[in-house]
Amino acid sequence: MKQSFIRFSRPWMHYDRVRELPKPPETIPMGAEAVFWIPGDLSDLDADWLKVGDKVRTGQKLTLHPDAGGYALSSVTGRVQRIEKRMGDYGRSYVQVTVAVEPVDRWDEAFSAAADTPDLATIAEWLACAPGAPDVSVFMNAEQPIQRLVVNGVDQDLMIRTRNYTLQTEMASITEGIRILKEAAGLEEVVLVVPRDSLQNFGHIGAKPAAVASHYPAGHPHLIMKSVLGRVVPEGTTPEQFGVAFMGVEAVASVGKAFRKRRPPLQKTLTLVRKDEARLLVSTRLGTPIRHVFAAAGITVADRDRIIFGGPLTGSAMYSEDQPVLPDTDAIIVQDSAGVYRPSDNPCINCGECVRICPVNVPVNMLVRFLEAGQYEEAAEQYDLLSCIDCGLCSFVCASRIPIGQFIRLGKHELELIHSAEEEVHD
């Protein structure tokens, strides 16, 4: 973190700077069991469609019933061992399917048959759970046409190298992914955004390269909209409302790779941060339980140590080592209990650090008072709750160790519930 001597200017934190080609990730082979999370509830499960004892193939779609929209992609061949209920963040329901892994892959060929038509429907139907989680639903909304795609090559948080590595090693797949998405969605322009330090000669990739500052959170979509596209996204609106969609570079590479190889990619690259803060890039199949990742990397998790999915500023703590590697798991951090940041219930002392560091000028010191009091609508109306881009910097610098980021996330979630309840009443 850099701050000027007189401390009136904003402190800066830099993304990882990877100037030379990074070492290839260490490959962690799949263990005895693979775990997949399908969105939905156990009550949605058709017991004749998916049950314990069923055989699954590598690349096969797992759904709760024949017409279900949500799915997971099996990254292994094996037999279903257990089907259980799981709860994600903010009460989201999943059905967890555990598969006993067989040593030899037998591929499901259904995607291969669909790969002749690389359109949006095929991508949505087959690749939403590929590494990077390509989400093309934004291009399928006729009421909100998209003209421009921003391929984001900037990692989502500090200490993460997944996108940076993809950018440096997967250019053929990225180029193919850009071509497919451009044609399928009828886009006028694709922009590839990278941190200024890693701007290189990208050649003919079918996208206009653009660089953003290398300090966090310059790679956030709202800040890219302003610095690269010259458009401010007002409070409570999204880039899609201005005809711009964002997709991570790993997701675009997944699209390109899938159609080139006629198989959905199932290998996920992620940054593993050990207790001594050493970072290593690893590559493992989607659905690998993190317990297995830790064992292979020589990490022992003790009572009260903390496991974080995502980066240090925006990640979420996990409560179980049975958690699988998911399509959007770009980083896993393991913190020793001795170094774990413990939030407090100390009052705000108005030091102003949060206000100084906020990249979108939210009056955080006032906002947090309303959030602590559960006054979410007032927080949105008077103190810019919906302008917040969830960068997590205010929590990091808070002198009173108030978990501001968590209050903000909870506040936004509660507001959503309030608004959807109001819409239901109106309907």
DSSP-derived 3-state class of residue 239: helix
- Answer yes or no: are the C-beta atoms of 254 and 131 closer than 8 Å: yes
Task: Select 333 or 397, whichever has its Cβ closest to ligand SF4.
Answer: 397
Least distance CB 313 / ligand SF4 (angstroms)? 8
Tell me the DSSP string of 381-414: HHH-GGG-----HHHHH-TT---HHHHHHHHHHH
Given the complex with ligand SF4, which of 331 and 404 has the nearer CB atom? 404
Q: How far is the CB of 315 from ligand SF4 (least distance, A)?
A: 13
- Cβ 337 to ligand SF4, closest distance in Å? 24
C-beta of 37 vs 396, nearer to ligand SF4: 396
Compare residues 287 and 315 and give the one whose CB is closer to ligand SF4: 315
Angle at CA 381, nearest 5°, toward 375 and 387?
105
CA distance 221 to 56: 38
Which is nearest to 315 in space by CA: 294, 302, 331? 331
Q: Smallest gap, in angstroms, from Cβ of residue 332 to ligand SF4?
A: 22
Q: Which two tokens mark 392?
A: 């997590």
Give me the residue label for tokens 């390109």: 256
Cβ at position 367, least distance to ligand SF4 in Å: 7
Q: Name which of 70 and 343 has its Cβ closer to ligand SF4.
A: 343
User: Rounded to whole angstroms, how far apart are CA atoms 170 and 238?
Assistant: 29
CB atoms within 10 A of CB 51: 11
**Smallest gap from residue 395 Cβ to ligand SF4 (A):** 7
At 297, is the secondary structure helix, strand, or coil?
helix
Report how far residue 244's alpha carbon sits from residue 150's, in angstroms, rounded to the nearest whole number: 7
In the complex, what is the shortest distance from the CB of residue 416 to ligand SF4, in angstroms, rounded to a whole number? 16
Terminal CA-to-CA distance of the chain, rounded, Å?
50
Kindly compute the dihedral angle of the four CA atoms of residues 193, 197, 201, 205, in this order, to the nearest 10 degrees: -20
**Using CB under 6 A as the criterion, which residues of the chain lie in contact with ligand SF4 when the complex forms?**
348-354, 357-360, 362, 364-365, 368, 388-394, 397-400, 402, 404-405, 408
For ligand SF4, the closer of residues 375 and 400 by Cβ is 400
Burial class (CB in 10 A: 0-12, 13-18, 19+), 47: exposed
> Which residues, listed in sequence order, are joined to residue 154 by a DSSP beta bridge?
none
Q: Which tokens in the block code for residue 280?
A: 């290593």
CB of 90 to ligand SF4, least distance (A): 17
